[in-house]
Amino acid sequence: MSAARAENLGPALLGRLPPQIRTPAYDRAALQPGIAHIGVGAFHRCHQAEYTDDLLASRFDRWGLVGINIRPPRLAETLGRQGGLYTRLIRQNDEVDARVIGSIVRVVDSQDSAEPALEVLASPNIEMVTMTVTEKGYCHVPSSGALDVAHPDIVHDLANPGAPRSVPGILARALELRMASRGRPLTLLSCDNIPANGTILGNVVRSLAARRSNGLADWIAANVAFPSAMVDRIAPATTEADIDTVEARFGYRDDAVVVGERFRQWVIENRFAGRVPRWDLVGATFVDDVTPFEHLKMRVLNGAQTTLSYLGVLGSFEHTFEAVADLLLATFVRRMLTEETLPTLMPVPGISPPAYVEQSLVRLANTAIRHRNHQIATDGSQKIVQRLLNPIRDRLAKGDSIALLSVPVAGWMAYLIKASARFGRAWQVSDPFAEKIELIADRVGRDSKGLVEAILAIDAIFHPALAADDTFRANVTIALDGLLSENPMVFVRHVCSEPIDARLKRPA
């Protein structure tokens, strides 16, 4: 006889939860929507929704969140069934801290049609729209930040502006509806890992608006703000084991559990249209310029994550914490960050970059955060520009070595190449350029020089000036050759003992 299923989390259960679980410290029944969030995944629920929950407890106001998903998964059967409530677990090695977040008042599935999302976004009650839609959700060209007019969803939205599919298209249509109804000003706040994410978001939305002849572009200029932001908290995809942990420890079922580390950070450009939630009262920072903070985070923490994901997979490590526990990979990443990445950074108020490197490596070593390397490796073509290629360009401009930074660039190439039929389909990958690189691998074969030349010709990723740089091409070619060998870790060990560019200077 099977055990009875535990009761599901929901408003009726809040008053009966175990005392060690913190619950919303405000009257949820009085909460009204003021923020819409697009992309209600683990990161949002572990970050912006928690900050909002803190704010509501400290200074109750009309800032309830309406969560919108325009891509899978659907929300109705998880967050919707639980009345927007979910458990946030903070896990630090053997420690577990549980808290129920209550800031999400409603969830909307808009995968089949944009209409449900547009109804929320055009509502006069909404004064702030935030989003975590991943890098590829902006439909931009990574190397330039411009709208990708060849993107299939953008092609569709240009032909069907009233029934959009893309995030930029949905936002442009929502703003058009607000303009028609004389709606109040709106702030669109990107919370994705893209440098100058507010600028990118503004670019793609304005590009669509400029193609309409109804004055939308002018209305946006007068009524909409696109501040940039830097967000930080490691929050891997939820697993069945995480859901089981809540049920086993606390006695209730929660199908929307999220897990994160203790550390969190949110730096927001102080540029808003109309009212803004005072997240700065509960730990966020409002600044005039986000750039130093985003460069530090993207190039150090995210650069380390990307490097460990590709080298970790190539070295047969499943999780980040396992990869960084390997002495060789930890040594390589620390050297890369210290010797080549840190010199590209501008001063960051109140933060010591060397200390930030060590703090980042400690965070990545947290054994309770089971972040799969394949998950981090997803959509690498959208990530390597800001994490690796931009610091490489900065160093090349000064004539500095890029021997170490070139290795994870080659690691991304090797990761996709080894997923091709020609290389035995070592694993499944998810990247917008995976098919293109598979075709290159099938055509070129095991010639590292030919592979690098063909991949660097993808100008949506590699700026033509960088792709044509002889030093960059040579470093990446040698690194790819080593990482496609039978034992790529032997190559990494050699790099740690002798920089690649020293080999390049040897006479033939």
Q: Does pLDDT of 219 surpass 80?
A: yes
pLDDT of residue 497: 84
Q: Does pLDDT of 388 surpass 50?
A: yes
By the 10 Å C-beta count (0-12 exposed, 13-18 middle, 19+ buried), 440 is classed as buried
The model's confidence at residue 501, banded by pLDDT at 50, 70 and 90, is low
pLDDT of residue 5: 78
pLDDT of residue 383: 94
Residues 265 and 327 in one domain: no
Q: Is residue 293 part of a domain?
A: no
Residues 85 and 131 in one domain: yes
Those residues with Cβ within 8 angstroms of residue 172's Cβ, 6 or more apart along the chain or in another chain: 157, 161, 164, 205, 208, 209, 212, 216
- 138 CA to centre of own chain: 12
Residues 222 and 369 in one domain: no
Which of helix, strand or coil describes residue 65?
Answer: strand
pLDDT of residue 293: 97
Q: Does pLDDT of 507 surpass 70?
A: no
Residues 277 and 327 in one domain: no
- Residue 475 CA to residue 469 CA, distance in Å, equals 10
What does DSSP assign to residue 3?
P
- Residue 50 CA to residue 63 CA, distance in Å, equals 12
Residues 122 and 258 in one domain: yes
pLDDT of residue 1: 34
Q: Is residue 476 part of a domain?
A: yes
Residues 333 and 215 in one domain: no
State the angle between helix axes of 152-159 and 167-180 in degrees (0 to 180), rounded to the nearest 10. 30
Q: What is the mean pLDDT of residues 302-312?
A: 98
pTM (two decimals):
0.90
- CATH code, 346: 1.10.1040.10
Q: What HEC string does 98-156 produce? A: EEEECCEEEEEECCCCCHHHHHHHCCCCCCEEEECCCHHHHCECCCCCCECCCCHHHHH
Q: Centre a 10 Å sphere on the Cβ of residue 367 and count the other Cβ atoms it contains.
A: 13
Q: Does pLDDT of 31 surpass 70?
A: yes
What's the half-sphere exposure (Cβ side, CA atoms, 13 Å) at 232? 27
Q: Is residue 45 part of a domain?
A: yes
Q: Does pLDDT of 169 surpass 90?
A: yes
- Residue 241 CA to residue 372 CA, distance in Å, equals 14
Total domains present in the chain: 2
Residue where one domain finishes, among candidates 287, 314, 343 = 287
The model's confidence at residue 508, banded by pLDDT at 50, 70 and 90, is very low
Residues 119 and 195 in one domain: yes
Written as six digits, the tokens of 475 are 């470093």
Residues 456 and 477 in one domain: yes
Q: Is residue 179 part of a domain?
A: yes
CB 205 within 8 A of CB 169: no
Those residues with Cβ within 8 angstroms of residue 88's Cβ, 6 or more apart along the chain or in another chain: 45, 46, 50, 98, 99, 100, 101, 257, 258, 259, 260
Q: Is residue 87 part of a domain?
A: yes
- Residue 171 CA to residue 163 CA, distance in Å, equals 11
Residues 256 and 335 in one domain: no
Q: Is residue 200 part of a domain?
A: yes
pLDDT of residue 92: 86
Type of residue at 77? E
Provide the residue range defining the domain that includes 111: 11-287
Please, where are the H alpha helices in 224-298? 240-250, 291-296
Each residue of 444-463: pLDDT tens digit? 999 999 999 999 999 999 99
CB 274 within 8 A of CB 186: yes
What is the DSSP pairing of strand 95-101 with strand 104-109? unpaired
Q: Which H or E run includes 286?
A: strand 285-287
- Residue 150 CA to residue 207 CA, distance in Å, equals 13
pLDDT of residue 506: 41
Residues 364 and 283 in one domain: no
What's the half-sphere exposure (Cβ side, CA atoms, 13 Å) at 399? 0
Q: Does pLDDT of 503 surpass 90?
A: no
Q: Tell me the average pLDDT of the chain.
A: 95
Q: Does pLDDT of 18 surpass 50?
A: yes
Q: Does pLDDT of 3 surpass 50?
A: yes
Residue where one domain finishes, among candidates 287, 309, 335 = 287
Q: Is residue 6 part of a domain?
A: no
Residue where one domain finishes, among candidates 226, 257, 287 = 287
Each residue of 192-208: pLDDT tens digit? 988 899 999 999 999 99
The model's confidence at residue 505, banded by pLDDT at 50, 70 and 90, is low
Residues 322 and 253 in one domain: no
Written as six digits, the tokens of 279 are 């997240």
The model's confidence at residue 2, banded by pLDDT at 50, 70 and 90, is very low
Each residue of 137-148: pLDDT tens digit? 999 998 888 999
Residues 233 and 320 in one domain: no
Q: Is residue 5 part of a domain?
A: no
- CATH code, 173: 3.40.50.720
Q: Nearest to residue 391, comparing CAs of 381, 400, 382? A: 400
